[in-house]
Amino acid sequence: MAQKRQKASPKATGPKAANAASRTNGKSNGRGDQPKTWSQVFSDLACATARYAGHPLAFLTATTLVIVWALTGPLFGFSDTWQLVINTSTTIVTFLMVFLIQHTQNRDTMAIQLKLSELIIAAQEAENKLAVAEDLSEEELERLHEQYRTRAEATLEHLNQRREQLKRAS
């Protein structure tokens, strides 16, 4: 794929150019030249919006809008319509942000789960059944939690005993 793009651009030479040619706007959709699906477009939009919403500039913008709205109160006589503007605006923004933030949170959670699964599978003495813990039922998760809590308590007890032995020895 990268070679086709490299040949199409006479300026592109070397491994850096080939790598850059295989990217679109710094990101690869992993599908070559195929257009993005609605899901990919939504994901990109949701991630960009969540990044912006978490930025101090977004807070400053929202605060400025509220101040401007409040200052226009006397101009509109603090009418019902004036109040409806802020109520409707905040309701719409909140409604849309719920979906965007939930999407980015689901995506981030899945990425973390994949990374943890990779670490669990890579660890030689790890129990690989934990690599798919997110797919277990609530009851199975509770049983596993109880097993690991018991193991953690036993390990803590063992560590405390070793510490006491070391204190007596010194």
Per-residue pLDDT of the chain (170 residues; tens, 9 = 90+): 344 434 444 444 444 444 444 334 444 445 556 788 998 888 888 888 888 888 899 999 999 999 999 999 999 999 999 999 999 999 999 999 899 889 888 888 888 888 888 888 888 777 777 778 888 888 888 888 888 889 889 989 999 999 999 999 88
The pLDDT value given to residue 11: 43
Distance in angstroms (rounded) separating the CA atoms of residues 49 and 17? 30
Dihedral of alpha carbons 112, 118, 121, 123, sign: negative
Q: Half-sphere exposure (CA, 13 Å, Cβ side) for 148?
A: 10
Distance in angstroms (rounded) separating the CA atoms of residues 54 and 61? 12
The pTM of the full predicted model, rounded to 2 decimals, is 0.53
Q: Delimit the domains of the chain by residue range.
A: 37-129, 136-170
For residue 78, give the 3-state DSSP assignment: coil
